Amino acid sequence: MAFPHLQQPSFLLASLKADSINKPFAQRCQDLVKVIEDFPAKELHAIFPWLVESIFGSLDGVLLGWNLRCLQGRVSPVEYSLVMEFLDPGGPMMKLVYKLQAEDYKFDFPVSYLPGPVKASIQERVLPDSPLYHNKVQFPPAGGLGLNLALNPFEYYMFFFALSLITQKPLPGTLHVRTSDCAYFILVDRYLSWFLPTEGSVLPPLSSSPGGPSPSPAPRTPSMPFASYGLHHTSLLKRHISHQTSVNADPASHEIWRSETLLQVFVEMWLHHYSLEMYQKMQSPHAKESFTPTEEHVLVVRLLIKHLHAFSNSLKPEQVSPSAHSHATSPLEEFKRAAIPRFVQQKLYLFLQHCFGHWPLDASFRAVLEMWLSYLQPWRYAPDKQSQSSDGQARCVSERWAPFVQENLLMYTKLFVGFLSRALRTDLVSPKNALMVFRVAKVFAQPNLAEMIQKGEQLFLEPELVIPHRQHRLFAAPTFPGSFLSSWPPAVTDTSFKVKSHVYSLEGQDCKYTPMFGPEVRTLVLRLAQLITQAKQTAKSISDQCGESTAGRPFLSWLGFFSDTNSSYPANDLDDMGQDSVRKTDEYLEKALEYLCQMFRLSEAQLAQLTLALGTTQDENGKKQLPDCIVGEDGLILTPLGRYQIINGLRRFDIEYQGDSELQPIRSYEIASLVRFLFRLSSTINHRFAGQMAALCSRADFLGSFCRYHLMEPGLASRHLLSPVGQGRTANRVRGPRLSLRFLGSYRTLLSLLLAFFVASLFCIGPLPCALLLVLGYFLYAAAMTLLTEQGKPHQL
């Protein structure tokens, strides 16, 4: 694409917009690369907002952009390769960002598209605690619309990139796209690896021209007065990103601002959707949800957490010790220490709390669960990460991780209690739900981890031994290493202060802490252990019942005509996965129970006593026992335990259809239109010949018995009603004799007749003689059944 050198920016933008409609994608990418290379920043800054929006889509979700969240290499290899090359951290798009960055351009970003708490705070003229927003808010001119942030090119690009995960809705046909294969997910991984390196330092930006200046963030000038809530948090690395270049400074200090900006943008856009005040309001059952994350959103956040652990743990051992921190360290090393506690911890905790409380009770919660477990295990992402021992047992969690466990105590304890409450309400017979319980129990049962958590709880609950005038400094918001906490002499007391500061900063000063190893949580664990035992028995019962029903099904069930309308257990994924699923469920639950007993020191005697006390001994392997209930004035009333048993599919009432057999719902093995036609036909016959049928059925001879066998509904008089409420109304209802032709609408009946005619044709018997033989055979069968019925149980008129 050739452009005149003196072309105005407006013409350049118009040409690119026209090309975006008329040219193929590959040609457009080539043209964009040439434009970025050939044109100066003065002309490129006009096309930058349009280009960013055309790539990531509009903030209102109307424009889809390049649809990075659904673009996969195996589906569209050419487009995928071009996109990844163009948006790579060292690619043409980032070169454009740095080219504009060097010229100190600013771009307006509307505040209305920021996460809820940030938007509300800025609109109330309260400065958010993140330094990302400091000195960027601008009032609209007279008659202008809304507040804006004045962002430099790198910030503007990252804001759009991060928000596209939330604002862009996937196309209907792409709901089953695997997130980890998509261009967006892989770009997130590349950006994290580039700007938060685990080895070496951050690579300097590509210079737009040989010997050209390195781009740096523009000076930040105050634009509006703010009343900051809480402590005023300035940037940890402010001295390194203050735009005052120093000849003797570490070269990495000029560029560390990009790493800090990237992390803050990702955390703010992906996690900062709930404030502490909002979280406390959400505890009310009547509170409305403000933001609901998707499974894809959670998977991307998990990728961020895993990389942050690897980034923070890449410090050398001598750089981790407190003594090393007192000496001069590079900006990148300081950032590695502060990344998680300073920027991530509080917002991630509120995000997880919301997910635990509001996520549906289904298998999709696995994504949230794995994100949580990834955060709880930083040792998995350390250079010297632990591996399993030769006997298959997990190695002991090293004491070097005790400070992390203690300073993230609520992540372990309160969220574990939240998981228990979810597990008690889910169907543990399902292999997917059983796997989640197993995963949590396995992680928390790692050797020495429970002891670390108990130590953290002891530090939080120990008496406060501090002098009064320092008391007000104790429970400040969590700060980065080197704060006032690290200078106090008593080591144990200092650790206690850090744990208390962590808890109160996340839950507020008036929080009520429930110890994980206290009696309340232990009671919940015992209930979960009891439900696990019941679920194991139920899974075995379902397996046995499936085996029996499969063995007893007729030949026609192989063709899909069998339907069991009175099954003893509700459907779940065991029905679809078979015996292998039952085996997996049993294994998961068995190991989960073992891990829980190990963590909370539960003995077999305690489990056996609890099982007997709650009535989990089941008759005939659990098939006949009703849910736990008490007898009330109107019949049986479910107890809380009985409700748990029904919700989890552990027990159920035997329910069968007791209404008019002609009016019961059309079954899957019936032809709907034929059933309706036969019902109208039989209703017409019954209406016209009601008197004659009643007279025939009242006869005392064989003909009367024969008619009663066909025209009277068997067992109607002896049928017992299960509903105590409707007993009086239904017991007096008597139905007269009637003809029912519904059986002719069944696939099984029709297929049986076809098979009979086919077999008759093999013996050279025509259709009419075959039909006469079938009628004669049925009359003989009906006569025999009439005699047996009358002898065994005489009909009562």
Looking at the chain, the whole-number percentage of residues with pLDDT higher than 70 is: 71
Q: Is 282 helix (H, G, I), strand (E, B) or coil?
A: coil
What is each CA distance from 546 to 542, 554, 565, 575, in whole angstroms? 6, 14, 14, 8
How deeply is 254 buried, as exposed, middle or buried, from its count of CB atoms within 10 A (0-12, 13-18, 19+)?
Answer: buried
Q: Quick one: pLDDT band at residue 546, thresholds 50, 70, 90?
A: low
Q: Residue ranges per domain, the chain?
A: 106-151, 422-465+491-546+581-614, 674-715+737-792
Res 495: pLDDT: 83
Res 343: pLDDT: 93
Say if residue 652's pLDDT is above 70.
Answer: yes
Q: CA–CA separation, 186 vs 188, rounded Å?
A: 5
Output the DSSP codes for 508-528.
-TT-----TTSHHHHHHHHHH
Q: Quick one: pLDDT band at residue 301, thresholds 50, 70, 90?
A: very high
Res 209: pLDDT: 47
CA max distance for the chain: 119
What is each CA distance from 585 to 103, 446, 451, 467, 568, in whole angstroms? 61, 21, 29, 55, 19
Q: Which residues contact 72 (CB under 8 A, 6 or more apart)?
A: 80, 177, 178, 181, 182, 183
Q: CA–CA separation, 721 vs 731, rounded Å?
A: 8
Cβ(453)–Cβ(413) below 8 Å = yes
Q: Which residue has the tokens 């209406």?
A: 687
Residues paired with 151 in a beta bridge:
107
Q: Is 735 helix (H, G, I), strand (E, B) or coil?
A: coil
Say if residue 616's pLDDT is above 80.
Answer: no
The lowest-confidence range among 16-30, 311-325, 589-603 is: 311-325
Q: CA–CA separation, 685 vs 687, rounded Å?
A: 5
Return the axis-axis angle of helices 604-613 and 519-552, rounded to nearest 10°. 70
Number of helices followed by number of strands (H, E) in the chain: 33, 5
Question: What average pLDDT does the chain have?
Answer: 78
Per residue in 71-108, pLDDT (tens digit) is: 999 999 999 999 999 999 999 999 999 999 999 899 99
Q: CA–CA separation, 174 vs 199, rounded Å?
A: 36
Q: Which residue has the tokens 């009032």?
A: 139
What is each CA distance from 524 to 410, 612, 736, in whole angstroms? 18, 17, 56
Which is more confidently placed, 7 or 288? 288
Res 729: pLDDT: 45
Best-predicted range by mean pLDDT (429-433, 463-467, 535-539)? 429-433
Residue type, 574: L
Say if residue 200's pLDDT is above 70.
Answer: yes
Cβ(669)–Cβ(746) below 8 Å = yes
Residues paired with 110 in a beta bridge:
148
Residue type, 19: D
Residue 387 structure tokens:
């591996």
H or E stretch at 484:
none
Per residue in 366-412, pLDDT (tens digit) is: 999 999 999 999 999 988 766 555 555 678 999 999 999 999 999 99
Res 230: pLDDT: 34
How deeply is 284 buried, as exposed, middle or buried, from its count of CB atoms within 10 A (0-12, 13-18, 19+)?
Answer: exposed
How deeply is 713 buried, as exposed, middle or buried, from its count of CB atoms within 10 A (0-12, 13-18, 19+)?
Answer: middle
Strand pairing report for 137-138 and 629-632: unpaired
Say if residue 467's pLDDT is above 50.
Answer: no
Res 713: pLDDT: 72
The lowest-confidence range among 297-306, 325-334, 420-429, 668-677 is: 325-334
Residue 243 structure tokens:
């735009």
Phi, psi of 722, deg, nearest 5: -90, -25
Q: Quick one: pLDDT band at residue 604, thresholds 50, 70, 90?
A: confident
What is each CA distance from 51 to 32, 45, 66, 217, in whole angstroms? 9, 10, 11, 21
Q: CA–CA separation, 315 vs 34, rounded Å?
A: 41
Say if residue 596's pLDDT is above 90.
Answer: yes
Res 12: pLDDT: 86
Q: Which residues contact 59 (CB under 8 A, 6 or more apart)?
A: 110, 113, 160, 163, 167
Residue 66 structure tokens:
């390049």
How deeply is 689 buried, as exposed, middle or buried, from its count of CB atoms within 10 A (0-12, 13-18, 19+)?
Answer: middle
Residues paired with 632 in a beta bridge:
635
Say if residue 714's pLDDT is above 50.
Answer: yes
The lowest-confidence range among 495-509, 532-546, 648-662 is: 648-662
Q: What is the DSSP letter of 336?
A: H
Residue 149 structure tokens:
């942030």
Q: Quick one: pLDDT band at residue 478, thresholds 50, 70, 90?
A: very low
What is each CA distance from 257 to 201, 276, 400, in whole angstroms? 13, 28, 30
Q: Which residues contact 663 (CB under 8 A, 6 or more apart)?
A: none
Output the DSSP codes for 680-692.
HHHHHHHHHSHHH
Q: CA–CA separation, 390 vs 301, rounded Å?
A: 33
Say if residue 650's pLDDT is above 90.
Answer: no
Helix residue ranges, H only, 570-658: 574-577, 579-600, 604-613, 640-647
Say if residue 173's pLDDT is above 60.
Answer: no
The vertex-165 CA angle with 161 and 170, nearest 5°, equals 125
Which is more confidently placed, 502 or 83? 83
Residue 550 structure tokens:
């499969």
Q: Quick one: pLDDT band at residue 433, thresholds 50, 70, 90?
A: very high
**Residue 191, number of CB atoms within 10 A of its CB:** 20
Kindly state the average pLDDT of the residues 706-723.
64
Helix residue ranges, H only, 69-217: 77-87, 92-101, 116-123, 153-167, 183-195
Per residue in 307-341, pLDDT (tens digit) is: 999 999 988 765 555 444 445 578 888 899 999 99
Res 537: pLDDT: 80
Nearest CA among 418, 265, 442 for reference residue 350: 418
Say if residue 629's pLDDT is above 70.
Answer: yes
Kindly state the average pLDDT of the residues 491-511.
79
Best-predicted range by mean pLDDT (67-71, 176-180, 554-558, 689-693)? 67-71
Res 642: pLDDT: 77
Residue 155 structure tokens:
């910030």
Kindly state the average pLDDT of the residues 110-136.
89
Per residue in 756-797, pLDDT (tens digit) is: 999 989 988 888 989 898 889 888 888 888 888 776 554 443
Phi, psi of 149, deg, nearest 5: -100, 135
How deeply is 497 buried, as exposed, middle or buried, from its count of CB atoms within 10 A (0-12, 13-18, 19+)?
Answer: buried
What is each CA distance from 223 to 103, 148, 150, 229, in whole angstroms? 21, 11, 10, 18
Strand pairing report for 107-110 and 137-138: unpaired
Kindly state the average pLDDT of the residues 253-257.
71
Per residue in 717-743, pLDDT (tens digit) is: 445 445 444 444 444 455 778 888 888
What is each CA distance from 16 to 48, 51, 67, in whole angstroms? 11, 9, 19
Q: Quick one: pLDDT band at residue 145, thresholds 50, 70, 90?
A: low
Instruction: Using CA atoms of 558, 563, 568, 572 in order, give the dihedral in degrees to the nearest 10.
Output: 70
Residues paired with 629 in a beta bridge:
638
Nearest CA among 66, 303, 309, 71 for reference residue 178: 71
